[in-house]
Amino acid sequence: MLKRAGRLVVLTILVLAAMEIALVALHFPYATDDAVRREDALQEFYNFSYTAEGNKTIVKDTQRARDALNAVTSNAIRWKVSEFVRAYRLQDARVLDVGSGMGYLQDAVADYTGIDISRSAAAVYHKPFVAGTATAMPFADHEFDAAWSIWVIEHIPNPEAALLEIRRVVKPGGLIYMMPAWDCTPFAAQGYDARPYEDFGIRGKLVKASIPIRTLHEFWVVTAVPSRIIRSAAAAWGPTQLHYRRLTPNYLEYWQADSDAVNNLDRAEMRMWFETRGDTCLNCAEGWARYLEKDAPLIIRRGAANP
């Protein structure tokens, strides 16, 4: 009886271990910028979506979609950026807003420059604005004292190229405030979380039914933390390459927040990317706690080293 119970325990442990390995493998950030992806569709989407006609056509009439758009202009975001400016005394600094959208943050500092891929956004700016891509910015090296990017990098097909550019244009000792939407999900593109079950077939219903489990913090821990520990080994070999998971964006219908996201980005991965280049994270935990941080922005002080 004891031998049988022992075998059952061993079998259970092996099954659980196999499930854990499978989950980590499925959620591991394999993608990199090795194969450069074109930004034509991205530019076309934002040129259109920032117009009144585009907003009306693309955004679906759901509360979640409306809330997602309103969040861009929310007082919470302005407060976060204002706190960053106040805490680090950036009121008189020269600051770049990467992916500046409709210019909602252009009055956060006096010396502000915005850059966005959408040419149609230019009309709403009363401060300097450049229509261009974050992956090839028309600025000189070390031109800015600080830069921020709010809910942008997850929408850029080549995110590491954007990070390299942000780091290039910020002077040594300058500050970088990174606030992408971390951990964007593959089910946002088709609005699984926002739409009713009757909108989907059998497969779609199964996907929707799995969302309560997949969005549990415990599920994130068992999938993300082991991946973070594995990836941290790369830090021993010098500057790391940014790893992420690619998503298929929906540029036709905006069902819910991040329907148009192209990347699933991990905060610890991006932190490692900066730190292995000699930069310092000013708001990050140390020790084992670093593997459990999830949603906070990254506040980076740029080091002296080049990329």
307 within a domain of the structure (yes/no): no
pLDDT tens-digit map of 244-265: 999 999 988 888 888 999 999 9
Strand-strand pairing, 170-179 and 298-301: antiparallel
Domains of the chain: total: 1
- Sorting pLDDT into bands at 50, 70 and 90, what band is 21? confident
198 within a domain of the structure (yes/no): yes
Return d(Cα 109, Cα 135) in angstroms, integer: 24
H or E stretch at 255: none
On whether the CB atoms of residues 178 and 270 are closer than 8 A, the answer is: yes
16 within a domain of the structure (yes/no): no
Please give the distance of CA 95 from its chain centroid, rounded to a whole number. Answer: 20
First-last CA distance in the chain: 62
On whether the CB atoms of residues 34 and 244 are closer than 8 A, the answer is: no
DSSP character for 212?
H
Packed helices 217-232 and 2-27: angle between N→C axes, nearest 10 degrees: 70
Q: What is the arithmetic mean of pLDDT over 264-291?
A: 96
Q: What is the arithmetic mean of pLDDT over 177-192?
A: 93
Residue 215, token pair as written in the block:
């969005």
Residue 254, token pair as written in the block:
């905006």
For residue 97, the enclosing domain spans: 39-301
Q: What is the arithmetic mean of pLDDT over 32-39?
A: 78
Best mean pLDDT range from 143-147, 256-260, 287-291: 143-147
7 within a domain of the structure (yes/no): no
The domain that contains 196 carries what CATH number? 3.40.50.150
Return d(Cα 228, Cα 285) in angstroms, integer: 14
- List CB contacts of 200: < 8 A, sequence separation 6 or more: 192, 207, 208
- When comparing pLDDT for 65 and 301, which is higher? 301
Which residues sit opposite 103 in a β-bridge? none
The sign one gets for the Cα dihedral 14, 18, 23, 27 is positive
Q: What is the arithmetic mean of pLDDT over 38-47?
A: 68
> Phi/psi of residue 178, each to 5°?
-110, 120
Q: Please say if the pLDDT value at position 14 is more than 50.
A: yes
31 within a domain of the structure (yes/no): no
Q: Which of 259, 256, 283, 258 is nearest to 271 (CA)?
A: 283
- When comparing pLDDT for 167 and 214, which is higher? 167
pLDDT tens-digit map of 115-135: 999 888 888 999 999 999 999
Q: How far is CA 299 from CA 68, 81, 307, in A?
A: 24, 11, 18
CB atoms within 10 A of CB 18: 10
pLDDT tens-digit map of 205-243: 999 999 999 989 999 999 999 999 999 999 999 999 999
H or E stretch at 105: none
Widest CA span of the chain, in angstroms? Answer: 80
Residue 113, token pair as written in the block:
């420059």
18 within a domain of the structure (yes/no): no
66 within a domain of the structure (yes/no): yes
Please tell me the predicted confidence (pLDDT) of residue 63: 47
208 within a domain of the structure (yes/no): yes
pLDDT tens-digit map of 43-102: 666 665 666 555 555 555 454 444 555 555 567 888 999 999 999 999 999 999 999 988
On whether the CB atoms of residues 187 and 205 are closer than 8 A, the answer is: no
Tally the residues of the chain.
Answer: 307
Q: What is the arithmetic mean of pLDDT over 17-30?
A: 78
